[in-house]
Structures are given as C-alpha cells and as structure tokens.
Amino acid sequence: MDPVRHLKVSITVLGLLISLGTLGYMGIEGWNFLDSLFMTAITLATVGYQEIHPLSENGKIFTMLLIVFGVSVLGYIVGSLAQIMFEGQFQRIVGRKKVEKKIEALRDHYIVCGFGRMGALICREFAAKPLPFVVVEKMPDVVEKLEADGYLFLRGDATDDETLLKAGIKRAKGLISVVASDTENVYITLTARELNPDLFILARSGAEGSDIKLKRAGASKVVSPYLIGGSRMAQAILRPNVVDFIEIATGREHLELQMEEIIIPPNSGFIGENLISSGFRKETGAMIVGIKKSTGRMVFNPESHTCLEERDTLIVLGEPSSIQKLEYLVQCATCAEDIIKRHKVKSDPDGQGRER
C-alpha cells in the first residue's frame, strides 16, 4: 500500500480510538465528556499521568486495551511519516496539491490525452502560443518527463470519467485525444462527448476506417498523421515550392512569415464594414487570404467589398509584427472609427473591386 494511504488509514483509526475511548469512559465510569477525553488522550499518548478519578475493574481492563491499540496505531503513524519523509513524498504531495489547484482554476482550456511524440509536439505549440492546457497521461515514465518539462498534468486513465472531470472537462474548450491505440481514442471520445456535449474533440486516427468510428463516437474532427504525412511527402516531390511556402507560413522555425487566424469579436467596431473600409491591409500590411464566416462557409481570396460579420474568422498571412498589429486593431474597440474614416471609399460600380 502507498505510504500516504497508510498514513490516512492510521489517522482515521486513531480518530476512531479517541472517540471510542471517550465514549467508553463515559459509559463505564460515568465521567463527563472533558474528563473522558482527557483520560483517553493521556492513555493513548502513554505520558504517565495518574487517573483523573479512581478506576473500576472494568475501567482498568478498558484502559489496558486502549493502551495496546493506541501504542500500535501511533507506532504505525510514526512509521508512515518516516517513510513519506524518507522517500520525499511529502514534497510531492504538496507539489501535486498546487498543481491540482492550478488545474481547478483553468477555464476554456484544452485537455491533451497522451504525451507521446504527437502529444509532446501539440503541447510545445500550445505553450508557444500560449494556450492553457492540461495533459492526461497514465504511463509512469512519461509522467516523469511531464514533470521535467513543467507542464500541467494529471496521472490517470483518460477513458475514466473521474480523470477527465479532474482535468476540468466541464470547463474545457476542447480535448485532443492522441494516445497510441485507436480503441482508446474511441473510448476517450465517447467519454468526453458524454461528459460535455458541446466540447470540441480532435482525435488521432491510426488504422484505416478508424476515422469513421471516431466520428460516430462524437469526434468533431479526426486527423490521420499517416495520411497527412504521406500526402505531404508526395507534394514535396510534385509541388516542392508550394510545400516550401506552406512550411514557411505555418512553421515556428520560420519567423519572417506566418499564417494565423483572427476572430472578429462581438464588440468590434469593424462589424458591418468591408475589407477596404476596414483598412486592414494598408494599416498593417497583413494579407487576408480567406474568411470563414460564422455560418461555417469558407471564402477564399475574399473580394474587397466582402462584409465583415460578428464571429467571422480571418485567415491572415504576413509578418509576425503585422499579424500582431491586426490582432490589436480587431480587439481594440476605439480604433475602428478613425481607421474607417480614413479608408472609407465608394464601392466600384460593378462591385468587383479588390483590396490592393
């Protein structure tokens, strides 16, 4: 048994002994509560004080039994404490309590189930963004790596309801299931969907046909690393320059150009404006290569008169500084009015004008 569990059991038994001892003296000797509790305490502690009141024959027998059990339990507690301190588990307990409090404080976070090669890459990207997340992992050797990397994590089985509840699935924004087994990914998806029907669930698919099962289980999106990897390798031969461009735009190692997505918030002053009147390109230098409308429709290479709506997602290509400036403008409630005044223009008569 775990030393911590030993200690908890021992303290519980000690509490029961104190209660039984107090009730025993009250029943056998007829003493009041305080005298009975005091007599129980000095008996269990074996401090050698004399009896508060003379004991009857039954009282003496009861006291001897209480001493025998009390000394055994106290010795057990001392041994458990020594083992905990010797193995350094006390520090681990305190550390885990702090981690659990941090996890309880998370809101709109992501739960990453599995910390293999894919899980580690996902966590690295999330940490670089940064996005709030917690990792669920059951393998002891992997847990040690998580501790070394400093990520928030829970040791447990992600297919278990209790584990996902501890990870805050009710408050989470999304879950990523990337364990090695397709069967476990299906179980995790089923469990997560049942606990939070509105959760976005991204699942890893390995074997052919498992993507269908994962979608049936409730996955919002399924990704097959083998399919993506094979397609990417083929494109590297067929369209090498296109692949290079995509790697530059989406890779963290290339800082000169990036592709990001920016959501138009409900309070934005640019709602109802078009791409020209918003002045996004002239103000920031970033290019809007696509817009995913709030209805889910994707608009590629949008026209300059394309109207911006609440919760539209802008697909932006540009330098990091340009993207950061655009993010600021979209979020800033007071910036829109001046910018719109500077860039307000009449639409082309044929409605085919494009932002330059």
pLDDT in tens, 52-107: 788 888 888 888 888 888 888 877 777 777 766 665 555 566 667 788 888 999 99
Please list, residue by residue across 78-108, b when 16 or more beta carbons sit within 10 angstroms of its beta carbon and e when fewer do. Answer: eebeeebeeeebeeeeeeeeebeeebeebee
What pLDDT, in 10s, does the model give residues 308-342?
A: 898 899 999 888 888 888 888 888 766 767 677 66
**Per-residue model confidence (pLDDT) at position 55:** 85
pTM exceeds cut of 0.75: no
- pLDDT of 123 reads 93
CA atoms of 275 and 354, how far apart (whole Å): 9
pLDDT the model gives residue 229: 85
Which region, left, alpha or beta, applies to residue 11 given φ > 0 means left and ψ of -120 to 50 means alpha? alpha
252, pLDDT greater than 90: no
Highest mean pLDDT among 141-145, 153-157, 253-257: 153-157
Higher pLDDT, 22 or 50: 22
Residue closest to 167 by CA, chosen among 198, 123, 136: 136
Say how far apart CA 270 and CA 290 lie, in whole Å: 17
Q: Mean pLDDT of all residues in the chain?
A: 83
